[in-house]
Amino acid sequence: MTKKILIIDDDPAIVEFLEDFLQDNGFATVSAFDGVQGIDQLRAHKPDLITLDMDMPEKGGVLFYAAMRKDETLRDTPVVVVSGVGPRPPAIGKDVPVITKPIDTDALMGHLSTMLD
C-alpha cells in the first residue's frame, strides 16, 4: 500500500519540490500551507508521516506539533522537521529528525525509510 505524506510548509516552491520528489519515489502526498490547514489535513487524510516547516504564518510548526501531540488520535503520526530555522525548538522531541533547507534528499529518504518501515 502506498504511504501518504502530509507536507506542511508556507513556501509553495518547497511544497511543489517535496510533492514532486516524494511522488517520484512512490509516495502519495497531501499539502498544507500553515499549521491550521495542517491540522485539518491531518485529521482528514490520516497520513503515514508529516514533513513540517517551523516558521509559518497562522500556526507555525511548534504550535502545530503541540496541538497534534495533545490529540490522542493524531499524536503518534511520525514527523520529520524540514525547515530553514536554526536549532531544534525545545517543544520538538529529540526523536524527531530535523533536516535543514536546502533539503538533503538522501537524508530525507533515509529518515522516511527508517520511520515508515
Number of domains present in the structure of the chain: 1
29-74 confidence digits (pLDDT tens): 999 999 999 999 999 999 999 999 998 887 889 999 999 999 999 9
Cell for 47?
A: 497520513
pLDDT, mean of residues 16-26: 98
- CA distance linking residue 45 with residue 57, whole number of Å: 22
Residue 84: give its domain's CATH number. 3.40.50.2300
Residue 94 belongs to domain spanning: 4-115
Q: Is the pLDDT of residue 87 over 80?
A: no
| Global confidence as pTM | 0.94
Give ∠ CA 23-27-29 in degrees, rounded to 5. 75
